Structure 1
Amino acid sequence: MALRIAFLLYIWIPFLLAANEVSRPCVFPFIFQGKLYSTCTTNGTRKNQPWCSITSNYDRHRRWKPCTLTEYGGNSGGKPCFFPFLYQRRTYYTCTRKYSRGRFWCSTTGNYDINRKWSYCADNRLEESYPTEPCYFPFMYKNKLYTSCTTAGRTDGKLWCSVNRNYDMRPSAVFCEPSEKAPCSFPFMFKNTSYSTCTKEGSIDGQLWCATTADYEKDTKWRACATEEYGGNSNGAPCFFPFIYKSQKRNNCINEDEQNGQYWCATTENYDLDFKFSFCADTKLENLEPLEAGKSRMQPSVSGNHNPPKRQCVFPFIYGGKSYTTCTTDGFNSQSAWCSLTDNFDIDQKWKYCTASDMPSQNSTRPY
């Protein structure tokens, strides 16, 4: 009987240990055969199963686990992570192991504090060497205060945030890379209020943000608003307005031919010749009306304040060096007529869409 029990233990203990090891997180970087690994690897296996060490030195401890390549478990049943997400009113762009006995987890909605939905993280989400901590807003970098993610100090145009109050004293950061590359959705609803701009409302750390759907309360999908251009093949170089695209002059950010609906701009005078672009700062989209991905838009100005209440067209007005005495569709791909709210749009950049009530004003100021 004792021999039988011993035999059963000999058979089952390795499986019990393996199950226990799987619940432990990968440790990156780790040493295997004298080489440092910062990602899961298939080296040393026969079946090309990615694996990782659960200590910093596999050669010494021989403890490992197969890497999970998708989220699993949690009360979301393994739904994918959603970044960024709010947890205890802090902004996370990475998985975290706070209050989870060392296992990394993520929210599967944009706000864990509201929805309480989560999964354990896939091991390959932990392969990067940067911290798994929330952004700290506002933070100091080179004696300047930042209340949003920035590309400052980088040459690749990637947005980042510090995980400490002062990056210069404690240089540690994460990239601000959202799960869904969706643009801000203006206007959007938050706490029964409609927002047509990025806002700090509801943000404990003063971070500018916007919803990426029309109703934040329903979908809890959001993004931190970028206040500068980022990414693209120009690595975040500033927009150049106006620019030429498809032989047309563009005076604004557009999302034409962009798969995810993100707005972009050329960073030289002629995109057709130079093919250089960046993604637009979210704060440059605040006066753009929602548009389906893949459609085009041309508008008089990225900073124009369209349809302000009780403002009247001013005729004549100057646009593009030309005098206009009527509402016009120049500068648009659509047939929506607009007018300037000052006598010189080129200088003041104030405008609105024309309505029927503008026509008498238009006719009364037309010279004969």
Structure 2
Amino acid sequence: MENARELFIRFLNNKCTEEEIAQLMDAFASGEDAATFNDILYRQLEAGSDDQDYTVEIQEVYHYIERRIGQEVKLGQPRLLWIQLAIAASVVFLIGIGCWLFFNRKSSNPIAAAKSISTKDFEPGSAKAILTLANGDVVGLDSAGIGALAKQGPASISKPDSGQLVYSANGTPAKILYNTITVPRGGHYEVTLSDGTKVWLNAASSIHFPTAFAGSQRVVEITGEAYLEVAKQTSMPFTVKSGVTEIKVLGTHFNINSYPEEGDAKVTLLEGKVVVSIHQGHDSRLLNPGQQARINPAGNNISVLADVDTESEIAWKSNLFYFKNADIKAIMRELGRWYNIEVSYEGVIPERAFSGKISRNTNISNVLKILEQSKIHFRVTPQGIVVTP
């Protein structure tokens, strides 16, 4: 089609006439301009949609496709928002468009939820954590006021307007004091340690650390998932311990995911170099940027993957879900931690592979509506979410 690009851009901006939409649907069904449409969609998604008014209803799009091509729309490998669809399968491509329009439209008439999704909803996680001081006192960080919070030896603890926690040390401690920050399910938090190292904690995670570092090394302990930007101090290496895994760095940016329910622990390096080891250093691997170390649950093997998609590994830090060929159980584990819900299963759940980005700021009902397009269904109960075929 000669004007495919211009027509599709008009479609994304909700400026097409009925006749033009019909022309587009014919083009989608033929698949002749799939590469053009894929390129436009990808660019639009990268640019965002704050200044555009998307009012196309997703169900209307699906029904229109079905009428145009004369068959039920089915998903072989469901896609959630944008994906570079280097395929000519226009039906799958259109479902990607529909999902994207659903999440970016500004219509005042919301799409009706699938019947199996209750009107009850679960809100997304927020900045919340518990600080346990050296003497055992506990401070709720989400409710703590702005300003100075506590004094721990030579270290001062404050909460600036940004809401994060900041440690600053004046002098060397006579005795090392340890604090713990625990982020519950449904939360996230950021802390700057006394050496300037920045730590982002995901839901259901924790960090145990000295309030002021002393001696020949800096050692912290982490559970769950965290992203670290380590302040460089050549004379005092930084070590992260998480279960059987030990990560030694000088100054670097990396992500560690050590949720027990996820199986292998993963260490993903974005900048600098780290040494990942098990068995008290008897088995170790040096990582370069873009590599990922995986440690099996038994802690007796380290494997290294090259050229991993680091963006997907740290998407949570930017408040995004980023799924890449993820099965429904992996997705529901992540949703469970973020929305603080319990997930159960009934019947034989179809095998599906999901890919895409979704904002973590959205309520869970929006996510479930998209997942239901894959013929997997959900029931909301007071206890959480039940997944059914």
User: What TM-score results when the alignment is normalised by the length of structure 1?
Assistant: 0.24
Name which one, 1 or 2, has greater alpha-carbon Rg: 1
Higher relative helix content: 2
- Give the structure with the larger strand fraction: 2
